[in-house]
Amino acid sequence: MQPDKQQHQTALKNNKYVNSPAVSPDKTNLPSLRSPSSISTGPSDAAVTPTIQFSVVVPTLNEADNIDSLLNRLSALGLPAESFEVIFVDDGSSDGTPAKVRAWEKRANVRLVERQEKPDLTRSILAGAALARGDVIVVMDADLSHPPERLAALVEPVLDGSHDVSIGSRYVPGGSIEGWPLHREWLSRIGGWLARPLCDVNDPTSGFFAFRRELTATIAERARGYKILLELLMAGQGKLRVVEVPICFRDRTHGTSKLSFLHQWTYLQRLMTLAGGTVSAGTASRFAAVGLFGVVIDALLFQWLMSGGAGLAMAHIMSFFAAAAVNYSLNSKWSFRPHHEGGLRWRQFGRFLTVGMFALLMRGGVLALLVYGLHVPSYLAIFPAIAATAVINYLGSAFYVFPVMRDSPSLDVRWRVASLGIIAFAVLLRLVYMGVAQLIPDEAYYWSYAQHMDLSFFDHPPMVAWLIWLGTAIFGNNEFGVRIGAFVCGLVTMGYLYALARNLYDKSAAIRAALLLTVLPFGFVTGTLMTADAPLMAAWAATLYYMERALIADQRSAWLGMGIAFGLGILSKYTLGLLGLAALVFVIFDPVARHWLRRPHPYLAASLALLLFSPVIIWNIQHDWASILFQSQRATGIDDRFSLQWLFVHMLLVLTPVGLVAAAMALVRSDPASRPHARRRRLFMWVFAGVPLAVFFALSLFGAPKFHWTGPVWLAVLPAVAWLLGQAGERSRLASRVRAAWKPTIAVCVFLYAFAMHYVVLGIPGIPYTGFTQHYFWREATHEIEQIAEKVQNQTGHKPIVVGMSRWSVASSLAFYNNNKQEPMDIRSRNLFSQNAAMYDFWYPFEPPTTRPIILVGMRPWQLERDVAGHDNITPRLVQPGPIQELRILREGKPLRKVYYRVAQGYRGNAE
């Protein structure tokens, strides 16, 4: 039985890239091939040529001890002798391997090809495939690590026309590895993981696979190395039908492995080339040589500027641009010469500047971390900063400035590679800067939660406090310890969103969804700043994932995960309760999921969530339901005014204009697929995004919404937005414009994040600090207040009470930046004067009259003499209050902000 060529051609033309479920380990029946006979005992001749269905290509290099065993085990399979042939391709063996094969040529359907070129596994396999007489090629090793007994199961999916490639996989259910040292197994797994972003198979580095012979023509002429399967999958441009068949891989018992460091380097080099980068030993070495020359210029100029008092920001920016100008000239004319023909290309130069700007802003964070965080001298810190810059510049040059032009990867692969690069940059940017950027007052307030640990708190559930307590217990009471929880929550959110998008669409959409989460403001900010929104986002994404698994995939075990995620979510913020309402609406509208109303699983999940939420319930019982009542009042309207227009403005802020348009398109467009799964998928998105949005729309009719309220809602929409982003064949003019607008939007967003972090940490020469500064730079402000407090104590002999005259911002910020002192200040909030101070009302409910000095600190002058309503209820309660004074906060002689303070000689008490 010979495969129908026309069937194969039609399938290839109409198919999509499908990673089919693994073939069952016991599915080895090939009725058309089964026969009592074994491998032919007669010589090979032309008479058997028409009946050969597949050719087994076995590359060899010093495998003499394994030839007989391999062919004997193939003989024992009982396959018709005329149905297949075995082609050995030898790469210059010196142990008698060719003689062993020739001995079989006269009595079996075996042939030998001896190559005279430099040994190369890929070229050997292609040489064997070129001489093959079968329409299907099977590749396997001669060392018996690939079980010949799985040959029939491996080749069947290709022979029957259902698939284009069949892979003997070690990493699917039923697959395994035996006898390999742990380091070899990990090398294999790491190699596979590195390739996973480019192709959708579990074992892309397998050496045991079958494919249609005509696919060899698609493999690039430059293909080299020992992983031809990866070349084949990438050459398919995502249109191949692939199945993975489980195998048990066993380590060789005879001979030695040919794997060396050179093979591993060649694999990495080829992998990056397939990803679209001009990565080679030549370009890397030339780039390194140019880089060393640039380091000399960069370091010398940096030291000269620093010695002249230029400041850290000015010195590193000026030295970077000087070195970058030299580096670009040399790299374009030498390092990447084949990709830079002719004169200056402004498009290419613009890309170089883009990469350079990102590298510069990252370098500023590395410098700040080393100099300010680890107290490394600047003349030493510049070298690790330059090294970080070099890595970014090289990868950016290889993949973006001078990318592969010949045999370039598909658009889908380019999107994947770009997405992973941008995600990696953004994650590293957060990691580098989060320990040196000062806390905003909200973070300092939640840190104060952690200093007064409780079951819950007045204005938020306790999760944010628990995460900060854990982070600071490990890393100390510093910015990094406070924010590490937000960083981890951001990664958790990304992981669950990726899994959700992959379940709803495919791997490409999942990678793009992770990219959008990383670059859109609501995702980047919540993964950077430690507020209650950070754990909320993680729990929201996890709840959506388990909801989809339970309601669409109908997995009973998902209800356990949903109960845990939901419970942790309402421990983060009450807002997540809206997903419970959305789940009920989905079950009502979806007849397939309606059966869950009669099952115990949803109710058990709700009970588990309620159990996790019990600390909040207990705290509210102990405090007359203060938190529930407070949040209920907020939900029914802040400021009691129509604010629907502001809700749309806030959506623009958290999504960007392009993101908002794309989200609207994803919500209103019908799914081109009419399958029930596609319809239920869209219903899932509509309900789990629409129900919370409808609630926020209703609340905005009667009160002012918070700008970040809608952020988590868009997690349900991002998978569809990411899917639309990859539909290059979409002919709609609006869709095309939105897709085109995403690239500059992504670049601008990431640049603004990096620019803002550099600006607040190191500054930007020529750009003064203004606008936001009354809420920032509390480290320097606290230092000045400490000096005033010390002066007052020296004058009066009594330790003063420092009162932050805002609800919680001033007191919390002062407390955080004063906490590492041997004798910290005694800090209170404005509730001393009958003004609302959130949790300070619970922590310091009463302050008796005292003759100790009082230092009032505020962000505005009026805060030190009257309340928000304009009533002067402050001065009468002070003993001998002094005038309101302005304090200018400087850093390196440059103005940062202003703080206002007022000193009194005592406090009369909080009498009404």
The pLDDT value recorded for residue 39 is 36
The pLDDT value recorded for residue 265 is 73
pLDDT tens profile 858-900:
999 999 988 776 677 788 899 999 999 999 999 878 899 999 9
Q: Name residue 697's amino acid.
A: F
Per-residue exposure over 520-532, b if at least 16 CB sit within 10 Å of its own CB, e if not: bbbbbbbbbbbbb
Stretch 204-220: mean pLDDT: 89
Q: Which of 839, 845, 779, 844 is nearest to 814 (CA)?
A: 779
Q: Is the pLDDT of residue 18 over 90?
A: no
Per-residue pLDDT band at 283 (split at 50, 70, 90): low
The pLDDT value recorded for residue 331 is 64
399 phi-psi bin (left φ>0, alpha ψ -120 to 50, beta other):
alpha
Stretch 833-842: mean pLDDT: 91
> 883 by DSSP, 3-state: which?
coil
Instruction: Say if CB 786 and CB 825 are below 8 A apart.
Output: yes
What mean pLDDT is reported for the chain? 86
The pLDDT value recorded for residue 663 is 95
What would the two tokens of residue 907 be?
A: 């406090």
Cα-trace Rg, the chain: 33
Q: Is the pLDDT of residue 32 over 70?
A: no
Q: Is the pLDDT of residue 340 over 80?
A: no
| Mode of pairing for the β-strands spanning 18-20 and 241-246 | parallel
pTM for the model stands at 0.88
The pLDDT value recorded for residue 444 is 97
Rounded CA-CA distance 363/387 in Å is 9
Stretch 22-39: mean pLDDT: 42
The pLDDT value recorded for residue 854 is 96
Q: Across-strand partners of 802?
A: 827, 855
pLDDT tens profile 520-565:
999 999 999 999 999 999 999 999 999 999 999 999 999 999 999 9
84 phi-psi bin (left φ>0, alpha ψ -120 to 50, beta other):
beta
What count of Cα atoms within 13 Å lies in the side-chain half-sphere of residue 337? 7
Stretch 687-716: mean pLDDT: 88
The pLDDT value recorded for residue 636 is 59
Instruction: Say if CB 225 and CB 2 are below 8 A apart.
Output: no
- Choose the weakest-confidence range: 127-141, 219-233, 272-286: 272-286
Stretch 420-448: mean pLDDT: 96
Where does residue 839 rank: exposed (0-12), middle (13-18), buried (19+ CB within 10 A)? Answer: buried
The pLDDT value recorded for residue 332 is 64
Instruction: Say if CB 367 and CB 356 are below 8 A apart.
Output: no
Instruction: Say if CB 340 and CB 397 are below 8 A apart.
Output: no
- In 3-state terms the chain splits into helix, strand, coil percentages (rounded to 5) of 60, 10, 35
Long-range contacts of 41-48 (CB under 8 A, 24+ apart): 41/107, 41/108, 42/107, 43/105, 43/106, 43/107, 44/85, 44/105, 44/108, 44/109, 44/110, 44/111, 48/81, 48/82, 48/109
- Per cent of the chain over pLDDT 90 is 58
Stretch 269-279: mean pLDDT: 78
255 phi-psi bin (left φ>0, alpha ψ -120 to 50, beta other):
left
* Torsion angles phi and psi, residue 886, rounded to 5: -95, 135
The pLDDT value recorded for residue 258 is 58
Rounded CA-CA distance 257/266 in Å is 16
The pLDDT value recorded for residue 279 is 67
Instruction: Say if CB 319 and CB 302 are below 8 A apart.
Output: yes
Stretch 340-357: mean pLDDT: 72
Q: Treating both helix axes as pointing N-terminal to C-terminal, what angle do 733-761 and 718-725 enclose, rounded to 10 degrees? A: 110
In this structure, the number of other CB atoms found within 10 A of the CB of residue 599 comes to: 11
Rounded CA-CA distance 338/345 in Å is 14
In this structure, the number of other CB atoms found within 10 A of the CB of residue 205 comes to: 22
Q: Is the pLDDT of residue 260 over 70?
A: no
The pLDDT value recorded for residue 640 is 65
Q: Which of 64, 44, 66 is nearest to 55 (CA)?
A: 44
Q: How far apart are the first and last CA of the chain?
A: 99
Rounded CA-CA distance 551/605 in Å is 13
The pLDDT value recorded for residue 225 is 62
pLDDT tens profile 591-630:
999 999 999 999 999 999 999 999 999 999 999 999 998 8
What count of Cα atoms within 13 Å lies in the side-chain half-sphere of residue 284? 11
The pLDDT value recorded for residue 510 is 96
Higher pLDDT residue, 21 or 777?
777
- Per cent of the chain over pLDDT 70 is 88
Rounded CA-CA distance 355/397 in Å is 8
DSSP state of 300: H
Q: Name residue 830's amino acid.
A: R
Stretch 328-342: mean pLDDT: 58
Per-residue exposure over 24-45, b if at least 16 CB sit within 10 Å of its own CB, e if not: ebeebebeebeeeebbbeeebe
Stretch 790-807: mean pLDDT: 95
Per-residue pLDDT band at 293 (split at 50, 70, 90): confident
What would the two tokens of residue 369 be?
A: 């971390």
The residues near 861 (Cβ < 8 Å, ≥ 6 apart) are: 884, 886, 900
| Mode of pairing for the β-strands spanning 894-904 and 885-891 | antiparallel
pLDDT tens profile 721-777:
999 998 876 667 888 899 999 999 999 999 999 999 999 999 998 888 887 778 899
Instruction: Say if CB 385 and CB 480 are below 8 A apart.
Output: no
pLDDT tens profile 487-516:
999 999 999 999 999 999 999 999 999 999
Rounded CA-CA distance 203/206 in Å is 6
The pLDDT value recorded for residue 352 is 81
